[in-house]
Amino acid sequence: MKLVLAIVHDDQANDLMHIMSENDFSVTKLATSGGFLRTANTTLICGTEADKVSALLELIERNCKSRTQVRPSSQVHTPMGGGFFPLASEVVVGGATCFVLDVDQFCKF
Ligand code: 2BA
């Protein structure tokens, strides 16, 4: 058995969960946030048989689109003195960041 962790955009998570359930994948949703942008994202946890992982990853890839997000950075001191101005930069945030882990044991009580 494998455990798939998929970090996705908040606003794509509900649709993806719905599609996963329709395709017989059990899923749990965690509210998370990225360490770099410090904004909310969603981590979906899915335990599944090893031979279903590629189908699950395809489903995730098809339903999660990447986008550009502005990263607000710390303020920069102006060379003229007397002030600070905010410096923003853009980063491409992936549609989904996925980890596939081996599961030692799976129990339901
Ligand atoms: P964040 O950490 O908020 O990162 C958002 C996006 O910022 C990343 O998109 C990447 O394009 C950029 N970024 C992240 N760290 C950077 C750095 N040190 N320097 C420059 N740019 C950087 P993604 O790579 O698509 O990641 C989306 C989210 O997935 C991340 O949100 C984080 O929550 C998670 N993630 C990505 N890689 C991870 C990893 N190796 N371990 C754990 N979580 C990860």
Nearest CA to ligand 1 atom 38: 97
Stretch 89-107: mean pLDDT: 94
d(CA 58, CA 100): 13
Between strands 2-8 and 96-102, the pairing is antiparallel
Give residue 88's identity as a one-letter amino acid code: A
Q: What is the pLDDT of residues 34-84, one digit of tens each?
A: 999 999 999 999 999 999 999 999 999 999 999 898 887 766 666 666 666
Q: Looking at residue 84, what is its pLDDT?
A: 64
Give residue 7's identity as a one-letter amino acid code: I
* Residues at CB less than 6 angstroms from ligand 1: 7, 34-37, 41, 91-94, 97
Give residue 28's identity as a one-letter amino acid code: T
Find the 91 Cα to ligand 1 centroid distance in Å.
9
Q: Looking at residue 89, what is its pLDDT?
A: 85
User: Which segment, 87-91, 93-97, 103-107, is predicted with the most confidence on average?
Assistant: 103-107
d(CA 73, CA 53): 37
